[in-house]
Amino acid sequence: MTDARPLDTLADFPAIPAGWSYLDTAATSQKPQAVVDAITRAYGETYATVHRGVYQRSADMTLAYEAARARVARFIGAKPDECVFVRGATEAINLVAHSYAATHLKSGDRILLSMLEHHSNIVPWQMVAERVGAAIDVAPLTSDGRIDLDAMATMLRPEHKLVALAHVSNVLGSVLDVARAVGLAHGVGAKILIDGCQAVPRLPVNVAELGCDFYVFSGHKLYGPTGIGVLWGRAELLDAMPPWQGGGAMIDRVSFERTTYAPPPGRFEAGTPHIVGVLGLHAAIDYVEGLGLDAIHAHEGALVSRARDALGQLNSVRLFGPADSAGIVSFAVEGVHPHDVATILDEGRVAIRAGHHCAQPLMAALGVEATARASFGVYNGPQDIDALVKGVERVTRIFG
């Protein structure tokens, strides 16, 4: 059994009481005190609107808001004017689908997804495909739960105009070879969007090095607030995209005869933004980079190894996904519904996710209706794995 390397951060998270094992970080992360403090300070001391007021506090808040955009850009190796603030990755994907894909794809074009995608990276493309007359293809998985890039290479052809794939699976934790996927997509002239929700909290990400065309993620999985996320897009692609929503902030000039629009990213940020959420995201990125993404990845990898080794010794447990998954372990207990597993674990103060994880096509491919999922964060340690295994052993005793 591999020893985990705790980051010793538990004291930074006020919402995790002693003796409670929070193993649902893939759904949403707990928040460090630094993020809570940034949000409290923004609402309690410095709050004002941005981009509108000429008074000093508004000007200061505008500077802080745009400094957060620059911080996001540095975090992912991008330029600030390529980073659009949205409510989350779901909205980011919908923005690309309805602004880029809906205006660039036509009847006969094709979109390529994979079997392990989250519903948010399936449904928007289905909506656009139905609207423009495009078709959707689905890349299969390898035996250990990775996107099969060899199969994808044989499937791609010039009719494919867009590829959308998860960087890290929210169910299996499998990590995509993004650089290879980008090369395959670009080889047939397709643009490629990467869903980075589960990647940015766990892996160093540099969009320039990855070479993708769009990258999306949500703040609340990155130890930041809910209701804020990021769409990164290549500048020339954003420039060519029409606005998705209309209103204040995204305009250049409005008359009843004609309206002209602001350049990106403002073009895609209609209305008053989630100002405090943006500042909270800034604090979350500072916190994560203070720990180091390489250290986080090593820490979570050790926890995954420990959990898989221990659960694998239980005859009634079936593990899903690759051994080197990034911070996520999905499993099933023979003869027990995952909801019952989660309920019994909760009695022992262990919080996991149970269900289809917004990935019903993947569940069908795995031959199950649902799985139990333990997902780790910087606040977890070996004691949480021990509590998880003890709880699963209790499940097997109760159900025989």
Residues with catalytic annotation?
358
Cα–Cα distance measured from residue 235 to residue 203, given in angstroms and rounded to the nearest whole number: 24
Strands (E), the chain: 21-22, 83-86, 110-114, 135-139, 160-166, 191-195, 214-218, 229-233, 251-254, 259-261, 317-320, 328-333, 350-351, 353-355, 371-375
Backbone angles phi, psi at 79, to 5 degrees: -105, 145
Closest by Cα among 16, 374, 84, 26 to 222: 26
In whole angstroms, how far apart are CA 13 and each of 17, 28, 31, 296, 346?
9, 14, 6, 16, 20
Cα–Cα distance measured from residue 331 to residue 185, given in angstroms and rounded to the nearest whole number: 32
CB atoms within 10 A of CB 108: 11
Please give the single-letter amino acid code of residue 334: E
Burial bucket for residue 19 (CB in 10 Å: 0-12, 13-18, 19+): exposed
> 276 by DSSP, 3-state: which?
helix
CB 130 within 8 A of CB 169: no
Closest by Cα among 177, 227, 225, 228 to 199: 177
